[in-house]
Amino acid sequence: MSKLHNTTLKRHKTGLVGVDHARSAGGYTLFAPQTADGNVFLIDLEGEIVHRWKLPWRPGRDAVILRNGNLGYNGNHPDSPELFTGWSVWHGGAFSEVTAEGEVVWEHTDLMHHHDAQWLDNGHLLYTTVEPLSPQLAARVVGGIPGSEAPGGVIYADVVKEVDRQGHVVWEWRSWEHLRPEDYPLHDAFERYHWPMTNAVSPGRDGKIILSLRSVSAVIAISRSSSKVLWRLGHDLVAQQHCPSELENGNVLVFDNGIFRPHTSMPHSRILEIEPLSQQIVWQYADTPGYAFFTPFMGGAQRLHNGNTLVTEANFGRLFEITPTGEVVWEYINPFFAPYPDAASRAYLPGENNAIFRAHRYQRREIPWLVVT
């Protein structure tokens, strides 16, 4: 009898689980495992690796293929200060644009960056950072675990920045200048060191920017020109959500994690398509029973060209593609397991894991350098 692995996740099947070629959107899936030592993988529908990049640091969450075919990588910079517990896990700060051959053609560093970043078509970079609130503003932050501020009683708040190719800030938005802390209370189970924790920033149409505020369970759209909030999806719709994106029809696709969902005793995750002005859910996916699909944090959803949706069940390294009727037509489990390399991250999330912040699907025409044999 073979010996079973002590890690539950590693006892499960990994790699390709199954594929329905006729109903899949096809293409290639890019993912950067959180603990794979800076390796970024591009796989085909059979789960075979067709290309790999090796970056000097593990991802500060994500990697994408840019319009020019290069890799846009958000690395976890080793010199970022440890602002509070958990910061080491979700900060980034080391941005690189890398060719298929591994040549770095552009770099940008911001040690206060965390979570998401978007590489814009004009070559600029849009991302989230933090700055400490003044004591007066910090006192207005509602909720959270009493006494759980960062060292010195500090609460860090989010700033969205856009930088050009020279690294100059060309636009920024400070959360506390446009959101009343009293209107965005922290959940009672969250620490008070970070408000409102913007885990995603996504450019939309007509100059809007969509933000996911995890610790207060809200998705907002802000105007780039006025910085005002255009609409808000609140806790009656989303719970600890990630990865909102605006679809071509103007609706918003959201990975709804499901922690602290009101009037729900059994946490489960959902993919929601919401019409933001009417606040109506027009499409959703959940498993049956609901708890069969659940990731407490991270996660992604990408609407594909044929109407299917690529889903990242992040904490379990599970990537799957569903049809509009919720049928799974492709499924893959990340086989690369390791502990976090730094002590602070290991203390926060101990043990080996195969987590993926968010995966992306690309068609062959979007990868001009790829040679398929």
Residue 14 phi, psi dihedral angles, 5° rounding: -125, 175
Instruction: Report residue 268 as tokens.
Output: 């489960």
pLDDT score for 5: 65
* 104-143 CB burial, b ≥16 within 10 A, e <16: eeeebebebbbbbbbbeeeebbbbbbbeebeeeebeebeb
Asked whether 354 and 17 are in contact (CB, 8 A), the reply is no
Q: How many CA atoms lie within 13 A of 75 on its CB side?
A: 23
pLDDT score for 1: 47
For residues 85 and 337, give the distance between their C-alpha atoms in angstroms, rounded to a whole number: 23
* 5-19 CB burial, b ≥16 within 10 A, e <16: eeeebeeeebebbeb
Nearest C-alpha neighbor of 364 from the set 7, 29, 20, 18: 29
Asked whether 129 and 114 are in contact (CB, 8 A), the reply is yes
pLDDT score for 4: 57
Report all structural domains of the chain as residue ranges with CATH numbers, in order of start: 8-366 (2.120.10.30)
The secondary structure of residue 135, as a DSSP letter, is H
Return averaged pLDDT per consecutive 10 residues of the chain, 373 residues in all.
63 92 98 96 98 96 96 96 94 97 98 97 97 98 97 97 98 98 96 98 96 98 97 97 97 97 92 98 96 96 98 97 98 96 90 96 96 80
* 320-354 CB burial, b ≥16 within 10 A, e <16: bbbbeeeebbbbbbbbbbeebeeeebeeebeeebb
Rounded to the nearest angstrom, the gap between the alpha carbon of residue 4 and the centroid of all alpha carbons in its chain is 32
Over its C-alpha atoms, the chain yields an Rg (Å, rounded) of 20
For residues 361 and 308, give the distance between their C-alpha atoms in angstroms, rounded to a whole number: 11
Residue 349's alpha-carbon distances to 124, 195, 345, in angstroms, are: 33, 21, 6
Instruction: Report residue 366 as tokens.
Output: 């979007």
pLDDT score for 6: 61
For residues 244 and 140, give the distance between their C-alpha atoms in angstroms, rounded to a whole number: 27
Instruction: Report residue 138 as tokens.
Output: 């910090």
